[in-house]
Amino acid sequence: MKVHDELAFMPATELLARIGRHDLSPVEVVDAFLERIGRLNKELNAYVLVLADEAMQKARDAEKALSGKQEHPPLLGLPIAIKDLFDMKAGVPNTFGCKPFKDYVPDVSATYVERLERAGAIVLGKPNTPEFGHKGVTDNYLFGPTSTPFHIGKNAGGSSGGSAAAVAAGLAPIAQGSDGGGSIRIPAAWCGVFGFKPSFGRVPAVARPDAFMLAVPFAHAGPLARSVADAVLMLNAIVGPEDRDPYSLPADAADYMAATRRGIKGLRVAWSPNLGGFPIEREVARVTAEAVRAFEDAGATVDEVNVKFPRGQAELCDAWLRQSAVRAAESAEGLKQSTGIDLRGSHRNEVPPEFAESLDLGHRLSAMDYRRDDVIRTEVLDGLQDVFDKYDLIVSPTLAALPVDNATNGNTLGPREIEGERVDPWIGWCLTYPYNFTGHPAASIPAGLSKDGLPVGLQVAARRFADETLLAACGAFEQARPWASTYPR
């Protein structure tokens, strides 16, 4: 294996430790990732923008800083990737995965991007995402689809698909994602990595002009990594209160890294094979049912439970689609005011027709329609809480299906039918979005591979604000059934 490849798959915790001991230089590490990106990204299509010159300059600056005696920020010299959605880096092109915005350059950074750079992380580039993150696969008219590294030509999942694929392929040690319906956990499942959606408000986001827009449905930022401990490195840098975010949680004394090592003996785990009624492909059902035993191996009690929602998956999905349509329409309208780009007007043919129709729906819904869907959210909250009243964790498959084939027209969609039941191709096959109705912390951990070698994810959710418990469970699973050897090299 080339030295570059050895560094690419080295845990981020080890990279940082070796940089701190001067066993590795930030220049050497950044150069290794840039070399792999140059060699592998064309086929994978994980990155849509690579900041090679800036990253190398930041690496040289970090190397100089490390030669001094002053205290260093915690992520100094560590390369990362930042999603190409609302995860903006000032002065760097940000397309939202949307053809009309190919030349858009923001002048402010997202709160968590600013925090990561302040912590010393070096941004390698911006990974791919679908237009405005509108669906559970990664493809768009501007850049085309992203593949899972486990099978080129099969989709990476979305909307943080470029981020997940970059991590799984060794093109970044850690990547940032965002999740408004599963967009961290979906690609984590299809790329075989760990994806963590913290409790809503744990990672602040200063949204403008509407500071309140990220609450319907709840949108979260979080890490994608090849290990739980690596994800915690990013998490530690971005959590904490922010007065300009009305939903940000107060600081706490949590030690997330220690939580990954503390074990879960005595915890009660509710295993739900279908999370209240989702149809599940047989191979996904087989892999996840076998994987959940790892919690018993780690000392937890596992019971199979029936999560009860008053409505079926199709009706729940429709509610998510309506609420997301309003937020997408609001975002598009705000960008229209600042850029003149009208996605419902002169640029309508430059986005997928389903997304254009969603923007129309967002404008058409009444205030009462919008509020009525919060009743459905409340039913989901109660159904989950009925289980959390007795159990510490709810475990299910992350997704109902294995990775789908990439389309050739820039508009890949998920499955329309699973085990004879119709599902919405945007997100109806994802068991993730119920936790965006409620804001619970949730993660996807690699459950194993299908008979054809495709990755399958296991979703783990904890009570509201119990992020430490969730990380402890994921850490215990990883220790019982490590997955580091599964990545294609």
Active site residues: 83, 159, 183
**Token pair in block for residue 93:** 């092109």
CB 137 within 8 A of CB 161: yes
Residue 460 CA, distance from chain mean position: 14
CB 378 within 8 A of CB 258: no
CB atoms within 10 A of CB 424: 20
Residue-by-residue DSSP string for 410-477: S-----SEETTEE--TTTTTBTTTHHHHH---EEEEEEEE-TTS-EEEEEEEESTT-HHHHHHHHHHH
294-332 b/e (C-beta count within 10 Å ≥ 16 → b): bbeebebebeebebebebebeebbebbbbbbbbbbbbbb
* Calpha distance 450→470 (Å, rounded): 25
Spell out the alpha helix ranges (H) of 169-221.
Answer: 185-191
Instruction: State the residue for tokens 């959590």.
Output: 239
Residue 342 contacts by C-beta under 8 Å, 6 or more apart in sequence? Answer: 336, 348
107 three-class SS: coil
CB atoms within 10 A of CB 207: 21
What letter represents residue 420's amino acid?
G
* Calpha distance 250→240 (Å, rounded): 7
**Token pair in block for residue 364:** 């058409």
